[in-house]
Homo-oligomer: A and B are copies of this chain.
Amino acid sequence: MADDGKLGRLSFEWARAHMPVFVLAEKYIQRKELGKRFFKNTYAAMCLHVSRETAVLVDSLHSLGMEINLVAANPLSTQDNIASFLRERGVEVSAKGSESSEEYYASIEVAAKSSPEFIVDDGGELHVAYSRLSLKSCKGGTDETTSGTLRLRAMDSERKLSYPVIPVNEAETKHIFDNKYGSGQSALDGLLRATGLLIAGKCVVISGYGWVGRGVAERTRGLGARVIVTEVDGVKALEAHMDGYEVLPMDEASIRGDVFLTCTGQLEVLRREHFERMKDGAILGNMGHFDREIDVVTLKKMGRRVEQVRKNVTKIEIDTEKSLYLLCDGRVVNLVAAGGHPPEVMQLSFANQLLSIYYLLEHEKELRRERPKLLQFPKELDALVTNFALEGFQLKIDRLSQRQKNYTKSY
């Protein structure tokens, strides 16, 4: 193949060719704005995984006139050829393939201080960083994830937000699709690339039966594994049970698992007491946004020898009888070991992102009149994206007749 820039371009083109839903959203704006460069003279700081799909969103906004500073949403998830490609297109990208924690936070800090008018975030890091400064530049923001929404909700309840934020994660076509179907596949993709091992016949322990956990559980079973689910929520535990998974507390599951995947959004879901029970050869990976679900620090301290034995696999030799294998240093497996969600999934998220940013600008005046807060995701955008999605996936559905609509309201 070829040099970095060309690889980045090809990767971008491949993604865009598989994101018809996003393209429909883009066309919608262009049509509505009569082809004007609607985002001209706006400036956004963005904290996103620097992937091919992100390039499609960023390039689109950039083409529509927006000035952008892009930083990474994870120290290990940046694809360098995508960064090169975006720089060639004139976007400022402050991210590189493998950053130290210091470099990572420094970039976020710089972006926060750059007086952005818009903040587009993944995980809330940039919103938090900006809120610590006393800037007045920002007119609106979005966030991509469950984790980010939780943090923004906490900030909002303490009145720490100085601008309205749209929680894109709450779009109807967003969280179920990327969390369940996107993570479901990409977690397995990451596991396969990192280990190259057979899934069939393995006992895989999945912590958390939210949308990510469900997706991962279903695909893991689809590849022939036996799945054990651990939960802290009773109703979800009952659902997992009825879905045919074994439900156990981690104390018992930790003895039986060949592979462990955390999907909780919590911290220290796997910790010393579990490491001690695990079998020789057990593999530990995390699918949560943050790298705190596995207590990596303690795990490494428990090893008499810690060694990288494959790309994205660290062997922790506990003693002569037992070694554990940690994937991606406890960081999110699908983004670090594989390419993250596929473009068909990300197009839904990013169509919602694109339209949310457009919405913030379009409704700037009204929004300024209200208290700055975490907004409800606008229903009108849900309807729009759903229609683009049906068209993009070439699905035809039925329509209610007037008679049926009336029936719904009768009693």
Contact = CB atoms under 8 A, between A and B. Distances in A.
A400 interface: yes
Interface in A135-156: 150-152, 154-155
Interface in A206-260: 218-219, 221-226, 230-235, 237-239, 241-250, 252
Interface residues of A, number: 97
B224 A243 contact: yes
A395 to B, nearest CB: 5
A193 B196 contact: no
A235 B398 contact: no
A201 interface: yes
Contact of A197 (B193, B342, B411): B342
A196 B342 contact: yes
Nearest to A238: B389
B232 A411 contact: no
A278 to B, nearest CB: 15
A176 B209 CA distance: 15
A389 B234 contact: yes
A238 B184 contact: no
Interface stretch (A55-63, A303-311, A360-368): A303-311
Contacts of A17: 281
A13 interface: yes
A343 interface: yes
A224 B219 contact: yes
Nearest to A251: B398
Given A173-B238, A222-B222, A249 B390 contact: no
A154 B411 contact: yes
Interface string A171-200: 011001100111011001100110011111
Contacts of A309: 10, 13-14
A299 interface: no
A230 B1 contact: no
Given A1-B311, A219-B224, A407-B267, A399 B232 contact: yes
B238 A393 contact: yes
B196 A397 contact: no
Contacts of A177: 238, 242
Interface string A1-24: 100000000110110011000000
A105 to B, nearest CB: 16
Contact of A310 (B10, B124, B184): B10
A64 interface: no
Interface string A382-402: 100011011001011111110
A308 B398 contact: no
Contact of A395 (B150, B184, B238, B267): B238
Interface of A: 1, 10-11, 13-14, 17-18, 52, 124, 128, 150-152, 154-155, 172-173, 176-177, 180-182, 184-185, 188-189, 192-193, 196-201, 218-219, 221-226, 230-235, 237-239, 241-250, 252, 266-268, 281, 308-311, 313, 338-339, 342-345, 382, 386-387, 389-390, 393, 395-401, 403-404, 407-411
Given A238-B389, A247-B397, 15 more contacts: A18-B281, A154-B409, A154-B410, A176-B235, A181-B242, A200-B242, A222-B224, A233-B397, A234-B387, A238-B386, A241-B393, A241-B395, A248-B396, A249-B398, A268-B401
28 contacts: A14-B310, A14-B313, A152-B411, A154-B409, A181-B198, A181-B201, A181-B224, A181-B242, A182-B198, A185-B198, A185-B199, A189-B192, A196-B339, A196-B342, A197-B344, A198-B342, A198-B344, A201-B242, A231-B398, A232-B397, A232-B399, A235-B382, A241-B395, A248-B396, A249-B397, A266-B407, A267-B407, A268-B401
7 pairs of A and B residues whose beta carbons are closest in the complex: A222-B222, A151-B411, A234-B386, A198-B342, A198-B344, A154-B411, A224-B244
